[in-house]
Structure formats: C-alpha cells, structure tokens
Amino acid sequence: MNKPCIITLTTDFGLKDPYVGMMKGVILSISPEARIIDISHQVEAGTISHAAGLIQETCIFFPKGTIHIGVIDPGVGSDRRPILVRTKDHFFIGPDNGLFWPIIKSNEHADIIHLNKDEYFLPRVSLTFHGRDIFAPVAAHLSRGINPLKMGTIITDPVQLLLPVLQQHGDILSGQIIRVDNFGNMITNIRRKDLDKHMGADQMAVKVGNLIIENVHETYAETEEGELLALIGSSECLEIAVNLGRACDQLEVAPEELVGMKVEVEKKK
Amino acid sequence: MNKPCIITLTTDFGLKDPYVGMMKGVILSISPEARIIDISHQVEAGTISHAAGLIQETCIFFPKGTIHIGVIDPGVGSDRRPILVRTKDHFFIGPDNGLFWPIIKSNEHADIIHLNKDEYFLPRVSLTFHGRDIFAPVAAHLSRGINPLKMGTIITDPVQLLLPVLQQHGDILSGQIIRVDNFGNMITNIRRKDLDKHMGADQMAVKVGNLIIENVHETYAETEEGELLALIGSSECLEIAVNLGRACDQLEVAPEELVGMKVEVEKKK
Amino acid sequence: MNKPCIITLTTDFGLKDPYVGMMKGVILSISPEARIIDISHQVEAGTISHAAGLIQETCIFFPKGTIHIGVIDPGVGSDRRPILVRTKDHFFIGPDNGLFWPIIKSNEHADIIHLNKDEYFLPRVSLTFHGRDIFAPVAAHLSRGINPLKMGTIITDPVQLLLPVLQQHGDILSGQIIRVDNFGNMITNIRRKDLDKHMGADQMAVKVGNLIIENVHETYAETEEGELLALIGSSECLEIAVNLGRACDQLEVAPEELVGMKVEVEKKK
C-alpha cells in the first residue's frame, strides 16, 4: 500500500450546509484511501484573494504530492474554465478565476491544465456546484494515480489576480492589510525581506490609520500587556498586534474596511 | 486489511464543546481504523427536520457501507428508542425521533432495528448523551463487522417526521423554503421533477413573499450581477438566489421566519 | 503496519485562518500515517482554563497512546517552556502555562519533559507560532516512535493553574459555573461524587444568581418543556438546564459573566 494521498479543501461553503460533506463523499467514493484535510470552509463568500492567500500560505507545509482543492467560485456555470495546476511539489484544482494565480506566479514551470475531459467528472455535472461535480472527482482520480495530462489540455493564459503591490516613496514603504486574524492581528503584505531590502538595519516606525508604532519587535513578550506593537509574524510578514489584546479594535474603522487599508513603514531619522 | 470503514457525523453540538471530540474518541477506541467524516455540527439545536434533510442530501454521495450517525436528540433520556436503519447501501444510527424518516420512506426495504443490546454500548450509559454512550459505540462495533441484527430487535413503527408537501391549485404549485444556505440562497422543497410533472414545458413565474421572479434559469451566469433569479440548484430543487448577492436579504422577513415560507410557481399564460 | 497513531488538536485559532491547516501539514509531512482529530479550535482566545477542561474531559475517551496537542499560548515568544506530559495512557504537548495542570494533578506519576532538543522542531522556529514550529513536529516525531525522553529534560516544577475549589459552609456546598455549552446548559465544577459526599441522600435545592431550583433530576424527560432543572450531566458534573430551552438566558447576567458565577447547593430540611 502506498502512502495514502492527502487532499486539502479550502472553500467558502461554511459548515452548516451539505456542500462540504457532499464533496468528501464524492472523493471517498472514487478514492477510498484519500485523506481529506480541511484548511478552511469559512472564507467569506466569493473573496478570491483571501482564499488565494490561505492556499499559498498553507500549501508549503504539506508533503510533496498533496492535492489542494479550492472552491471559491462565484462564476460557476459561466464559461470560466475548471483548471488543475501542477507545480514541482503540489497539485491545485479549482476554478480559473485567479485563485491559484499566486501559486502560478511563484512557480515558473507550473503546468496549467484546462480540465475538459468529462470522464473524470461526476456523470451529471450541475451548473452551480463544480466543487462536487468536477473538482472533487478530478482530485480523487488524481490521488489514484491518473496522469493529470490525460484530464485536459495545457493552457498558458490563466486568469490573473490583481495583487496589491508595495510602493516606495523616499523613506516610506507602503503596503496594506491583507487579513485580520482570529486574534485581531492585522497581517500586511510587507514581508521581512521587503523591510530588509528597503529599510536595511535602520529603525522603523509603522503607521496605519490613526495608529503610529515606534518600532518593530521580534515577539509579543518584548512588550507590556495591552501594548500595541508591530512585528514580523509567523508567515514572515509584518503584522500589527496588541499583546494579549485585539489590534483591529484600535483602528477607528469598520471591520469590513480593514482589509485593504494602507500601512506605511518609515525610516526613522 | 479491508478498506477502512467510513463513519459520518451530523449533530447540533457546535464546535466549542467537548461532545464531538468525545464521540470521536469512543469510536476510535473501539474501531481504530474507522474514518470519521464530519458532515455538520452546526445544525440549529433540536431542529430534526433540518438535520434529516442534511443527512438525506449528503448520504447518497458516500460509498456503499458508510455508517451515518445523527445526533439531534432533544428527547434523550426519555423512552424514545435508539435505532439503526439499514438500507441497501448505508447504515444510519441515532434516535427514533423522525431524523431518519426521509431515509426510511425512500427505501422501501430498509430494516429498522431498536438498539437494545447494551453490550454494544459504553459500560455506563448517561441519561443525557446517547451520542457518546450508545450511537458512537454501536457505529464503531458495526464498522468492525458486527451484524446489526445482533444489536437489537427489528421494529416496524418508527417515529415519522411531518414533511411539508406540495400543493397544486389550478396553475399554481406551492411549496416552501426548507433551508437558507451560507450564500443566502433559499432552497425549496419543489424538485425539478415536480416542475416537469406539474408545469411541463410552460414558462413559469416564481413568487415568495414580496418577490416575483419571471422565469426559471439554468445558471447564475444567465443573469446580471445583483439580479434575483430562480434556478434548479445542485440538489435538483428549485432555489431562489441573487447572482453574487444574498437572496434572503431581499425578503422583508426576519431570518428565523424564512424556513417554512410559502413559495408559489405559476404557469405563465 | 502498526495502528496509525492519533493526534488530537485543541486550539484558540478559529477556523478562518491558515494556522490549523499549517499544523496539519507539518504533522503529515513528518508522520504521514498520523490521524489528526480536531477537538476544538474555537476556544476563546487565551482562555487556558477553558481549554484545560476541554482536554481533560475528552482525553479519557481516546485510546491508549493518543497524543493531545493543546495550543492556547498567550505567552508564546517569552521564556515559558514548551512541554510534553506523559501519563500512563496518553501524551500531551503544548506550552507550560497551566494548560495541562489538571492532567498532571490527577496523574501522580506523570513525566513532564521540557522540550529543548531543537532537532525535533521545524528548522526555523518563529517567535509567535510554536504550535506549528515546535508542538506539531514534536507530536509527529513522537507518533513515529521517538522516545519522549530524548526530546528534552524532565522537570518537576510545571506552571500550575489556579482551579476553583468547592467550599462547604454548614449545609451549603458552593461551586461555580465553568462552562456554558452550545445548548445554553451551565456546567458547574460540582461533581456527582461531591454531592454524594457532602449531601448524602438528602434532598437538595440549587441556587445560581436569581434562580432557585428545588431538586436535582436525573434526566430532562422528568420535567416539562421549558422547565428549569438541575441534573448530573454527561461529564458527571452538576449542570443547570432548561428542557428544550436555554438556561443561560434565564440569568439576568451578561454572557461573558456567566463563567465563574457562584452556584450553591443546599440540603433541604
């Protein structure tokens, strides 16, 4: 027996509806040994960029050969293509709507396959639930060793995702909040290596909305309880946190307006 | 080694309490190879009909031999019977309170077994948590190959669930909303085959509360963003949706009053 | 093939962020046969005593040899130690912040190991996410048979958790609410054996806030729908419930003030 193959799931289905259970049933019916791992089903409905980040951040921790299904699919039923992306280490299956663009962009030799061989789909494909009818069965067949090149046609024009880019103006590097986590930490798209490159060893101050933080720490423990701080978080990105508190509550901004807010890092004179 | 047996769980326990973890521990203590799949633990407390629908909709996607545990059990500790239902393809284990009535009704030759052999229960059975003390161990023993007929006595009078039925008055077919999903789609009990039978190939209009929809579409993509539409969803039932929006928010009705609301389909002249 | 080893997870990470998925990926990369079971990821951020109770209540239902990871870790990055606790039946891995104190206290001969051998960690250990970088890889190595004594140094001074204790004044036994569950039941720290010892066979009345309950029942079914009752719940603790209702809504107290509220049991004359 080979090592059982791992299939991860990232969706915006929530956990109250039958949709996730149906996908698991489809996978196990085709590939009884597959091991299904939930990444999250609580992506906010239709937020492709959030899910793209989740998949990109988590996939690197999984073993070679893992299959990652992503179903954030507001265009289901239109002519958007179902795709499979094969990188050196992993497989990604889902809609061609930008969800896997960060993966494709950071894996130069990725193969992108338009899934158009319906013998690997469920016998009846609905127009509203390709997660169950296309992506789950394709992943299950793949986990059993079917060559992905048999499942469709290579394409070279995947849909791109407009990702926020950093901007440098003099001594100021600007990025934005890309995620607010369960602890109220605000994670930005400014990575440690961006700071190293643009700021060097200089002291920095961080500004977001009405908040100014006078330097970047290594750990919560360097600060007092309740103190606002900026630090490089576990995904190597700058984040704004409160030691034993919720940083996001300190911005005078509605929760739904946090993602996308500008964050500035400035060299201290 | 046989294929490891799948046991699915559907409960109203939520994910904060120890109850689901306890059930999983009990199952794995008896049947270490069992594979446990969560369908949902977020059924609203005590809503048997909702859970009955979830189980009925998902079970058909699982492999032959799958064991489905359902614990929506407001009558635990009373004299309501614990039962096991065996259909041609699956097993269902839970309280005799109507939870499996849709399964029994649609499987003419189902065996219904009153679980009354306590050698298959935990040594101490509490009066408040049969999910852990009866249903989980019975499922685990079953997954190891114990004959279900040894676990109890066949009965023929299971508790029935009063399911809403469709009504036809002239050119109008009436059903109701049975579920509002994570996307705000309102799923009805009017199936595609009901429409085929009652409406034939005629054009239809759909009415619910203050909303009127002038025809039934095949897919979201046929409509504009934000447009209200009626379509046959992925479970072959009529549903009312908004393309990239939340249909349930368009009804002038409190969320808790949506389930059970009348939906009318009318032949267009 | 040995029985695959079970690793349970209890965290305060929620289900929207990549953190749980990352831990699962790390575990499966090191120990592909490990079986990961979620206990809960919805512990309220930083509430060590709640998680300690969850782990203690659930672990006893899991098979011998199960590994339990707990990550409620507000002191991550400080000098709080990462530990492994080995009891006769189980392993526990997480921060030395009191999380496993109830386990240690009730297992006289438990070994407590300060995890200080970084060859069992991820190659780069962040200062903010030891769940992924230390606890997950240690659990995975342990599940593959590494001797825990090789992973660190025995210690005898684990951080203790201040647990609420019962008090007896004359005919009154006082405890407190330790958890409010998904059904609105209020679970106390007064166990059946405490009642047996302090109250004997006498009739009892239960008081909490503005509520008085005139006796202790065995089951919901002994009461009317909507009736407030006290009973010994499935974890052998006294709980206050409403038959088919939510007991916690009957106290004139904000939800966040329920845990810790005094509960008195009084012998009836």
Quote the pLDDT of residue C198: 87
pLDDT level of residue A2 (50, 70, 90 thresholds): low
Q: Which residue of B has its CA nearest to A129?
A: B234
Candidate from B1, B4, B182 with C-beta closest to A16: B182
Which of these ranges, A47-51, A91-95, A123-127, A199-203, has the smallest mean pLDDT?
A199-203
Number of Cβ pairs < 8 A linking chain B and chain C = 98
Q: Which residue of C has its CA nearest to B74?
A: C244
Quote the pLDDT of residue C91: 98
Q: How far apart are CA C139 and CA C157, in angstroms?
A: 22
Residues B113 and B180 in one domain: no
Mean pLDDT of C184-191: 95
Q: Which residue of C has its CA nearest to A9?
A: C21
Quote the pLDDT of residue A1: 37
CA distance B62 to chain A (A): 4
Q: Which residue of A has its CA nearest to B43?
A: A16
Residues A138 and A236 in one domain: no
Q: How far apart are CA C260 and CA B253, in angstroms?
A: 38
Give the rounded percent of residues in chain C with a pLDDT score beyond 70. Answer: 99
Q: How far apart are CA B79 and CA A176, in angstroms?
A: 59
Contact of B143 with B7, CB cutoff 8 Å:
yes
Q: What is the DSSP letter of A253?
A: S
Contact of A17 with A44, CB cutoff 8 Å:
no
Residues A145 and A235 in one domain: no
Q: How far apart are CA A81 and CA A91, in angstroms?
A: 16
Buried (b) or exposed (e) across A32-59, using 16+ Cβ within 10 A? bebbbbbbbbbbeebebbbbbbbbbbbb
- Record: contact B28-C63, CB cut-off 8 A: yes
pTM, two decimals, is 0.95
Contact of A37 with B38, CB cutoff 8 Å:
no
The count of domains in chain A is 2
CA distance B41 to chain C (A): 10
Assign residue B144 a region (left: φ > 0; alpha: ψ between -120 and 50; beta: otherwise).
alpha
Interface residue of B182, B186, B239, B248 to substitute, partner A, most A CBs within 10 Å: B182
Mean pLDDT of C256-267: 93
Q: How far apart are CA C113 and CA C94, in angstroms?
A: 11
pLDDT in tens, A7-21: 999 999 999 999 999
Q: How far apart are CA C259 and CA C209, in angstroms?
A: 12
Interface residue of C22, C31, C124, C133 to substitute, partner A, most A CBs within 10 Å: C22
Quote the pLDDT of residue A151: 98
Residues A150 and A172 in one domain: no
Quote the pLDDT of residue B56: 96
Strands A82-86 and C67-71: unpaired
Which of C154, C177, C212 is the C-terminal boundary of a domain? C154
Quote the pLDDT of residue A198: 87
Neighbours of chain C (3+ CB pairs under 8 A): A, B
Contact of B144 with B158, CB cutoff 8 Å:
no
| Residue C184: CB atoms within 10 Å | 18
Residue C121 phi, psi dihedral angles, 5° rounding? -100, 175
Please check whether residue A22 lies inside any domain of the structure.
Answer: yes
3-state secondary structure of A221: helix
- This complex has an ipTM of 0.95
Residues B48 and B178 in one domain: no
Q: Which two tokens stand for residue A153?
A: 């046609």
pLDDT level of residue C255 (50, 70, 90 thresholds): confident
Contact of B120 with B145, CB cutoff 8 Å:
no
Q: Which residue of C has its CA nearest to B128?
A: C234
Contact of C15 with C47, CB cutoff 8 Å:
no
Residues C172 and C105 in one domain: no
Candidate from A58, A219, A221 with C-beta closest to C18: A58
Angle at C252 between CA C251 and CA C256, to 5 degrees: 80
**Which residue, B157, B192, B181, B9, is CA-closest to B83?**
B157
Quote the pLDDT of residue B52: 97
Those residues of chain A whose CB sits closer than 8 Å to some CB in chain B are 1, 12-22, 24-26, 28-29, 32-33, 36, 45-46, 74-79, 126-129, 132-133
Q: Which two tokens stand for residue C115?
A: 């995890």
Give C220 or A266, the one with higher predicted confidence.
Answer: A266
List chain B pLDDT tens, one digit each, 269 residues: 355 699 999 999 999 999 999 999 999 999 999 999 999 999 999 999 999 999 999 999 999 999 999 999 998 888 999 999 999 999 999 999 999 999 999 999 999 999 999 999 999 999 999 999 999 999 999 999 999 999 999 999 999 999 889 999 999 999 999 999 999 999 999 999 999 998 887 889 999 999 999 888 888 878 888 999 999 999 999 999 998 899 999 998 888 899 999 999 998 87
Mean pLDDT of A255-260: 89
Residues A126 and A171 in one domain: no
Is pLDDT of A220 > 90? no
HEC string for A80-138: CCEEEEECCCCEEEEECCCCCHHHHHCCCCCEEEEECCHHHCCCCCCCCCHHHHHHHHH
Residues B79 and B188 in one domain: no
Candidate from B1, B182, B231 with C-beta closest to A14: B182
- Record: contact B183-A45, CB cut-off 8 A: yes
Contact of B241 with A46, CB cutoff 8 Å:
no
Question: Domain range spanning residue A233?
Answer: 167-267
Those residues of chain C whose CB sits closer than 8 Å to some CB in chain A are 1, 12-22, 24-26, 28-29, 32-33, 36, 45-46, 74-79, 126-129, 132-133
Interface residue of C61, C143, C239 to substitute, partner B, most B CBs within 10 Å: C61
Contact of B8 with B39, CB cutoff 8 Å:
yes
| Residue C88: CB atoms within 10 Å | 9
Residues B140 and B193 in one domain: no
**Which residue, A245, A237, A128, is CA-closest to A184?**
A245
Residue A210 CB-density burial (10 A; 0-12 exposed, 13-18 middle, 19+ buried): exposed
Which of C121, C154, C187 is the C-terminal boundary of a domain? C154
Q: Which residue of C has its CA nearest to A183?
A: C45
Please check whether residue B178 lies inside any domain of the structure.
Answer: yes
Residues C149 and C171 in one domain: no
Contact of A142 with A35, CB cutoff 8 Å:
no
Please check whether residue A161 lies inside any domain of the structure.
Answer: no
CATH (domain of A41): 3.40.50.10790
Contact of A230 with A240, CB cutoff 8 Å:
yes
Contact of B234 with B218, CB cutoff 8 Å:
no
Q: Which two tokens stand for residue A9?
A: 């799931």
CA distance A76 to chain C (A): 23
Q: Name chain A contacts of C15, Cβ cutoff 8 Å.
A: 15, 38, 40-42
Mean pLDDT of A108-117: 97
Q: How far apart are CA C126 and CA C141, in angstroms?
A: 19
Distance of CA A23 to the CA centre of its chain: 20
Distance of CA C131 to the CA centre of its chain: 17
Q: Tell me how far apart the 2 most distant CA atoms of chain B are, in Å.
A: 66
Sign of CA dihedral B65, B71, B73, B79: positive
Strands C211-213 and C216-217: unpaired
Residues A11 and A93 in one domain: yes
**Which residue, A7, C116, C66, A159, is CA-closest to B28?**
C66
Please check whether residue C120 lies inside any domain of the structure.
Answer: yes
Task: Give the residues across from B220 on adjacent strands.
Answer: none
Q: What is the DSSP letter of B127?
A: S
Residues C88 and C209 in one domain: no
Q: Which two tokens stand for residue C179?
A: 């958890």
Is pLDDT of C140 > 70? yes
Is pLDDT of C135 > 70? yes
Candidate from B35, B62, B182 with C-beta closest to A13: B182
Task: Give the residues across from C117 on adjacent strands.
Answer: none
Q: Which two tokens stand for residue A170?
A: 């003099």
Q: Name chain A contacts of B41, Cβ cutoff 8 Å.
A: 15
Mean pLDDT of A118-122: 98
Quote the pLDDT of residue A217: 87
Interface residue of A40, A43, A50, A227 to substitute, partner C, most C CBs within 10 Å: A40
- Record: contact C16-A58, CB cut-off 8 A: no
**Which helix (H) or strand (E) is C49 found in, with range?**
helix C48-59
Q: Which ranges constitute the DSSP H helices of B90-135?
A: 101-105, 130
Q: How far apart are CA B116 and CA B113, in angstroms?
A: 9
**Which residue, C166, C179, C183, C180, is CA-closest to C265?**
C166
3-state secondary structure of B206: strand
CATH (domain of A252): 2.40.30.90
Please check whether residue C159 lies inside any domain of the structure.
Answer: no
Which of these ranges, A65-74, C64-73, C110-119, C221-230, has the smallest mean pLDDT?
C221-230
Neighbours of chain A (3+ CB pairs under 8 A): B, C
- Record: contact A58-C128, CB cut-off 8 A: no
Quote the pLDDT of residue B4: 63
Q: Name chain A contacts of C22, Cβ cutoff 8 Å.
A: 57-58, 61
Please check whether residue C211 lies inside any domain of the structure.
Answer: yes
Quote the pLDDT of residue B1: 38
Please check whether residue A142 lies inside any domain of the structure.
Answer: yes
Residue B249 phi, psi dihedral angles, 5° rounding? -75, -10
3-state secondary structure of C38: strand
Which of A125, A154, A183 is the C-terminal boundary of a domain? A154
- Record: contact A37-C28, CB cut-off 8 A: yes
Angle at A45 between CA A39 and CA A47, to 5 degrees: 80
Please check whether residue B187 lies inside any domain of the structure.
Answer: yes
**Which helix (H) or strand (E) is B211 found in, with range?**
strand B211-213
